[in-house]
Amino acid sequence: MEIIAIANQKGGVGKTTTAVNLTASLAAKRKRVLLIDLDPQGNATTGTGLDKNDLELTITDVLLDGVSLQEAIVKSPAGFDVIAANRELAGMDITLMGQTNSHELLKTAMADLVTDQVNGKTKPYDYIIMDCAPSLNLLTINALVTTDGVIIPMQCEYYALEGLADLSQTIERLTELNPKLYIRGVVRTLFDARNTLANDVSAELDAHFGDIMYKTHIPRNIRLAEAPAHGMPVLAFEKSSKGAQAYLKLAAEVIKQSR
């Protein structure tokens, strides 16, 4: 079982789109996947067809009330397992301020999934994908302390290189808390191949970070933006779209990285 956090402090770069559609694509490739929403915005929750205002248990109950991850799992209309989030998660930083283990609550909760819930033999999932909020708040730190690797969605614009350098430093610092932590890969999102600047930045990313860049570029594709409004991953919404095909290719790259 591999745990992957989808993170970038920058907002609106395609984290949630990547989390939902990578999960759906892995599931389509017959992998057992769990998606955990760690953002009070609850976008990943809505994007899989769940009503974020009508949930019995969410990640908030796990982190603040000691409910087990196992209990909080819901089957989403998208067809795979989800641990949902909504606005209730927003006050967590303040609620937990001063509590010494506040950065490892998720890691502790994850222990019951890492060993199988029934007999401790087979692990229940091949991949756990976590969608983080656009900040380095306590929730994101919990994700980074728990995860094996990080996938960073990145838009090819002028500040991308600086942003990536900053983020790598942050991740480097957090290896103190999680020695396994590494950048599994950087995925170019919202990519417009007709845009000269995007191509230049993309080439720069390859030159400086070549070994961690995924080959798959996720194109700017209207179907990817429309699918969440229907509570569907794009694969269910329009399988033949460029966006759906790109996320299938990304999933193949992610699987290839697995030991």
Interface residues with Mg ion (CB under 5 A) are 15-16, 43
Sheet holding 2-6, edge to edge: 74-75, 81-83, 33-38, 127-132, 2-6, 149-155, 182-191, 213-219
Question: Nearest Cα to 34, choosing from 65, 8, 69?
Answer: 69
Question: Nearest Cα to 131, choosing from 221, 248, 17?
Answer: 17
Considering the complex, what minimum distance in angstroms separates the CB of residue 124 from ligand ATP?
A: 26
Cβ proximity to Mg ion: between 43 and 241 the closer is 43
Ordered DSSP codes for 102-159: GGGHHHHHHHHHHS-TTTSSS-S-SEEEEEEPSS--HHHHHHHHH-SEEEEEEE-STT
- 3-state secondary structure at position 206: helix
Distance (Å, whole) CA 142 – CA 133: 12
Question: Nearest Cα to 5, choosing from 143, 155, 101?
Answer: 143
Considering the complex, what minimum distance in angstroms separates the CB of residue 118 from ligand ATP?
A: 34
Site string for ligand ATP, 145-184 (x = CB under 6 A): ----------------------------------------
Fill in the DSSP letter of residue 182: E
Binding at 221: pick from ligand ATP, Mg ion, none (beta carbon under 5-8 Å per type):
ligand ATP
Site string for ligand ATP, 6-25 (x = CB under 6 A): -----xxxxxxx--------
Q: Does 193 bind ligand ATP (CB under 6 A)?
A: no
Cβ proximity to Mg ion: between 43 and 142 the closer is 43
Q: Does 251 bind ligand ATP (CB under 6 A)?
A: no
- 3-state secondary structure at position 32: coil
Residue range at the interface with ligand ATP (CB under 6 A); choices 27-35, 121-129, 176-184, 221-229: 221-229
Considering the complex, what minimum distance in angstroms separates the CB of residue 83 from ligand ATP?
A: 17
Cβ proximity to ligand ATP: between 32 and 242 the closer is 242
* Interacting residues with ligand ATP (CB under 6 A): 11-17, 39, 41, 43, 134, 189-190, 218, 220-221, 224-225, 228, 243
